[in-house]
Structure 1
């Protein structure tokens, strides 16, 4: 991709040239890029439902990004993360569109005693707001619930058990990660 900020020959050009490349204008620069590849058509069976869900998510992302731009706490966070040719609005919008990921649950140090650690890796395209742990007995009764603490590495979260768990086998452990727009992802495991 070639860019030019002041070029009398290409200034103001936009569109396809031949069948090889296109000109675009962005932030006062003329950009020459390879011709985009044709998009694949969505399958027609569920395309209406899928399209409605996509449009609804896009609309909600727009609402969130607009709200974030007037929020005194959120806007500086998104402003600090932007790169050239990005606005804080775009960062907030992308944050809405991607939910956190939760994986790599480590239970090596947990055998049901208070004070023992459970670790999980939670990541997001911007920032994880909180990670919550819920432990239930095999019959579904809630044993404990609480917030995890972010480790020094910035991606692992540690929860410290608070109560005695007399029956570890069969215990249901649920981990919920939230990002700033409150998208949530959960991971559930039977011990």
Structure 2
């Protein structure tokens, strides 16, 4: 791999020259490398699925890069070398959020008690939804959690009295900006 510097003829060039050299643009640099060898064997189903996922991520990134709200959300973030908004949006699409913890220490089944959810994503969690289901599978209550003092902390205030906590399932679902979800379920 080589970088082209101070060459007006090659600066800004991209594509393949003959069957030997490939020129591409990365940031303000023109990178020259050997052309990739074409594989004769067909791609596996897993490779095709991964290729489709990246194509979907690129479509998402192109659409979101034009959105002023997205531009504002990413404005203060540091860019990695040779990575800009498009690269961050692809990474955001490919990494779903995770719910790491559900803190139920202050919960005794009464209304007005707080349940704390710790949820993370590489570029921010858009929202957290909490649902409570009894031992028979009947929904007790559900609703959105409010952002807490920390960017990873979310708070849900209970509204229903639950007389029997045994078998109660509490599920927290985090959603990121591309719309992917991560879940954590705790059964009492």
| Fold match (TM-score > 0.5) | yes
Separation (CA, whole Å) in 1 of partners of 2:48 and 2:25 = 31
Alignment match, 1:95: 92
Deviation at 1:137, TM superposition (A): 0.8
Alignment match, 1:76: 72
Separation (CA, whole Å) in 1 of partners of 2:68 and 2:26 = 28
Separation (CA, whole Å) in 2 of partners of 1:141 and 1:166 = 14
Alignment match, 2:141: 144
Deviation >3 Å, runs of 4+: 4-8, 24-31
Secondary structure in 2 matching 1:111? coil
Deviation at 1:49, TM superposition (A): 3.2
Out of 53, 59, 70, the position equivalent to 2:55 is 59
Deviation at 1:7, TM superposition (A): 8.2
Q: Is 1:156 the counterpart of 2:153 in the alignment?
A: yes
Q: Is 1:105 the counterpart of 2:109 in the alignment?
A: no
Q: TM-score, normalised by structure 2?
A: 0.75
Secondary structure in 1 matching 2:63? helix
Alignment match, 1:40: none
Q: Is the 8 A contact 2:101 2:184 kept in 1?
A: no
For structure 2, the residue ranges without an aligned partner over 5 or more in a row are: 12-23, 32-42
Alignment match, 1:15: none
Alignment match, 1:20: none
Deviation at 1:130, TM superposition (A): 0.1
Alignment match, 1:18: none
Q: TM-score, normalised by structure 1?
A: 0.74
